[in-house]
Structure 1
Amino acid sequence: MAGTEVYNYNPSVAAAIIFAILFGIAVLIVTYQTFRTRTWFLIPFVVGGYFEFTGYIARILSAQQTPNWSIGPFIIQYLLILVAPALFAAGIYMELGRIIILVHGEKQSIISRRWMTKIFVAGDVISFFTQAIGAGNMAGRTAAAISRGQTIILIGLVLQVVSFLFFIVTAAVFHLRVRSGPTQKLLTEPNLPWQKHLLALYATSFLILIRCVFRLIEYSQGRSGSLMTHEVFLYIFDSVLMLGTMLVFIVIHPSEVNALLKGNGAKAVRNVVSVYGMM
């Protein structure tokens, strides 16, 4: 496939190597934390980290082929880097449901806890597969296939942005209601770290939301737009933001919430903190 059909610039091998290393380190830490504390609902988040790592490995291989790029490495890096945030989102959605259970705040949520995870994860799955289908179309050698792929990806990104905005509103309303009227659980256990984990959810949600808005603008501009013709924007508004998302969950790992629900919070904190002894 001709180079002009895949990249609109010469991709940097050095940048791809740097982010492959950073994502590799981050995903190993998150994997250790998650399996050490048996926080199984975070598995999609961990898989998203491996998608990022593998995506940048494939990008290294693709960049080394300049200017005679083959379609295989290009599509692998394109697909994995594109859809990884949807997997991060799945873990974020599931943690909110557990925070609500932790504080016994089901009545303060605008969506029933029973349906919350199902609604948001279902939207996330639809967005994930829509973007994946669009990325698959990008493998076509014709301008029509590439254009169709970009349109499908754009639809998936719109769904993802709408879902994230709704999620942020849901979390914020719950947060405000509980702060103004603490539950009986919080009255008896005021030191529960629920707000710390909600702040982590806000941080990761906004990072992914900014990234999705960037991708929306990128695909709206098309292949001749400034965002698709300058590689630096990919690293600033995707790579850095998604690495930041992983770092937030490394520092404020959801295993604490998981363990508190099981009545074993102190042990969870020791297990999570112990990871830093490896570093």
Structure 2
Amino acid sequence: MTTRTEEEEILRQGCHALVEGFGTSYGYKPSLGAGIAFCVLFGLSMILHTVQLVWKRYWWCVVFTLGCLCELLGWAARTWAAECPYNPNAFMMQIAILIIAPTFFTAGVYVLLGRFIQILGSQSSVLSPKLYLWIFCTCDILSLVIQAVGGGMAASAYDTLDGNTAPGTHIMVAGIVFQMASITVFVALAADFVRRTLRHRLIQSADGSFVPLLVAMGFSVVCIYIRSIYRTIELSQGWTGYLITHQVYFVVLDGVMMVLAVVVFNFVHPGWFMPNAKRVYQVEMEHA
């Protein structure tokens, strides 16, 4: 006669459908429909971003493709988990990948503002474009590493009988909080950028549709920020907390937010809307 612990261990091997009385690591059975829907959405966005990347040759936009790829793999793991809710590999895969995927999107936004500064000149920013990119891309990499390490530790501990997930969870939260802090500084500098461009009339010094791309950047940042706030609160409540065990919050505040954050650049792509420099030096001389 097998014990409950032995039965739980058997369920974790291979693929087993949901069994009444045996909870999953998620606190619920992942939705197959949501998994398929987000795989399709991120897959289509990834394909379109790849086409736009090759077509317009804005090679730095590869970060949007990579971010979509990570989201696709993460949601593929959740789709897998919908059929195999006790499988520890699917659980660990979706945790590790989905926690770091948005880092690629923030990197794209950081590079985008850096390009604006390069085009409009030194008067548009308190930092030089190179220094700006070094600071925020380094913050992005550090955030990615911290979250990946914490996610791996927490997932491994959760997969072990009586494992302690607290250390890994705290590291994950630290990584997300660090990301939020860097985004907050970014928003402050972006606001200063807008103020300077309006004050010195730098927008008139460039050809192209500047405003739509700036609005798209702001919209993407808001979506990423909402997701970061949600994940911080979610993980702070622990692996059995209210938010993490109710799927609707994850679908709306993580999945939907990340779709909006990256799809907006399919419609307002830098290759189509990035302005070209035009008489910037004259504007700088007039307002020197």
Relative contact order, higher structure (CA 8 A, sep 6+): 1
The match for 1:31 is: 50
Letter of the structure 2 residue corresponding to residue 29 of structure 1:
L
Give me the whole-angstrom Cα distance separating, in 2, the residues matched to 1:247 and 1:160.
21
Matched, 1:43 2:62: yes
Matched, 1:129 2:145: yes
Letter of the structure 2 residue corresponding to residue 178 of structure 1:
T
Give me the whole-angstrom Cα distance separating, in 2, the residues matched to 1:58 and 1:83.
15
Cα contact 2:123–2:196 (8 A) shared by 1: no
Matched, 1:166 2:185: yes
- Residue identity (%): 30
1:17-63 CA-to-partner distances (Å, cap 9, x unmatched) read 11111111111111111121111111122101001111111111122
Matched, 1:20 2:16: no
Q: CA deviation at 1:95?
A: 0.8
Give me the whole-angstrom Cα distance separating, in 2, the residues matched to 1:28 and 1:34.
10
The match for 2:240 is: 224
Cα contact 2:208–2:274 (8 A) shared by 1: no
The match for 2:131 is: 115
**Structure 1 segments of 4 or more deviating over 4 A?**
1-5, 186-189
Letter of the structure 1 residue corresponding to residue 48 of structure 2:
I
Q: CA deviation at 1:142?
A: 4.7
- The total of aligned residue pairs comes to 256
Q: CA deviation at 1:188?
A: 4.6
Give me the whole-angstrom Cα distance separating, in 1, the residues matched to 2:229 and 2:213.
24
Cα contact 2:100–2:148 (8 A) shared by 1: yes
The match for 2:284 is: none
The match for 2:107 is: 90
Cα contact 1:99–1:194 (8 A) shared by 2: no
1:124-152 CA-to-partner distances (Å, cap 9, x unmatched) read 10000110001111222155442221111
Determine helix, strand or coil for the equivalent of 1:154: helix
Determine helix, strand or coil for the equivalent of 1:111: coil
Give me the whole-angstrom Cα distance separating, in 2, the residues matched to 1:88 and 1:163.
13
Give me the whole-angstrom Cα distance separating, in 2, the residues matched to 1:9 and 1:261.
53
Determine helix, strand or coil for the equivalent of 2:261: helix
Larger radius of gyration: 2
Give me the whole-angstrom Cα distance separating, in 1, the residues matched to 2:189 and 2:80.
42
Determine helix, strand or coil for the equivalent of 2:101: helix
Unaligned ranges ≥5, structure 2 = 1-8, 13-21, 279-288
Cα contact 1:218–1:227 (8 A) shared by 2: yes
The match for 1:214 is: 230
The match for 1:273 is: none
Give the CA RMSD over aligned residues.
2.0
The match for 1:176 is: 195
Which structure: greater helix fraction?
Answer: 1
Q: CA deviation at 1:71?
A: 1.7
The match for 2:97 is: 80
Q: TM-score, normalised by structure 1?
A: 0.86
Q: TM-score, normalised by structure 2?
A: 0.83
